[in-house]
A = this chain, B = another copy of it.
């Protein structure tokens, strides 16, 4: 088990000073050509690599970015993460992931842990509990310390920072409009409680589409499910309502369950009832019938967030100028709606 070689070892071995070695390895003009070559050759031979921690301590840059997501099993977050990781890696950054598990406490603990020097900035989507409590003091703390923060998808207006979202309201509107254009009259919305920023926006789009097309809003057309576990009873009950001939679901899981249960009840998809789900994940492609889905372009979202964060991290001046980038979601037509 050979010990890692340090600059000190090289200096001692080659009988030069530490500073000379350091400079030679960065190819500084200050050092003579032959000395540089000697040192560089020796370093390469012994496979010298600078210690990241020491470098981080010195220049107060870790080249790590902290990502906090509510969960890792949802396809959407996985793809966003993929985008972040890809972009960050290409720029020489590593990604430290923490999963908040939709819990406020875990989110806070993880943030505090990472905020003490481990990372150069945060990318995160708020946990369900955080959006419910509306307590963003841990975010405030972090931004006050000057640590860059980018929020994506599940955001809040109360924190001034960069943000990346999709045009939730618009695309929900478009989805409902598509259903209307297909002749549907009883369009349901299957959503979560509206404390989720995204669910709220999607609901707004849904409502606006209805009213713009002179469709009565029927409270019974909106089903709110827990994000924790699917209440099949509630779905079954919901579909007792024969007036429903289409449903927009705010996520893939809701869509899959609803479609399955509707089918079980005897509805034919898409003849009797159409389905559109947010998140174009793996399930939508393999469902039967395949599910028309709203592609949130998670990977692009992740890349965008990472780009915004790294720009903030690397820019010298800290004029507090924040942007919100909007990714345009697209509807992927499949069998669960009629073309």
Closest B residue to A94 by CB, please name it. Answer: B96
- Chain B min CB distance to A126 (Å): 18
Chain B CB within 8 A of A324 CB: no
Q: How far is the CA of A2 from the CA of B85 in the complex (A)?
A: 30
- Interface segment out of the listed A52-60, A153-161, A198-206: A52-60
A96 surroundings in chain B (CB, below 8 A): 64, 94-97
- Interface segment out of the listed A74-82, A163-171, A231-239: A74-82
Total count of chain A residues near the partner, CB < 8 A: 49
Interface centre among A75, A96, A118 (most CB of B within 10 A): A118
Q: How far is the CA of A50 from the CA of B115 in the complex (A)?
A: 10
Chain B CB within 8 A of A4 CB: yes
Among all A-B residue pairs, the 10 with the closest Cβ atoms: A53-B117, A51-B117, A1-B146, A52-B117, A49-B116, A53-B57, A52-B118, A52-B116, A288-B288, A53-B56
> What are 23 A-B residue pairs whose CB atoms fall within 8 Å in the complex?
A1-B144, A1-B146, A49-B115, A50-B116, A52-B116, A53-B57, A72-B78, A72-B81, A73-B78, A85-B97, A85-B98, A85-B99, A86-B99, A89-B98, A94-B96, A94-B98, A94-B113, A94-B118, A95-B96, A96-B97, A282-B282, A283-B283, A286-B287
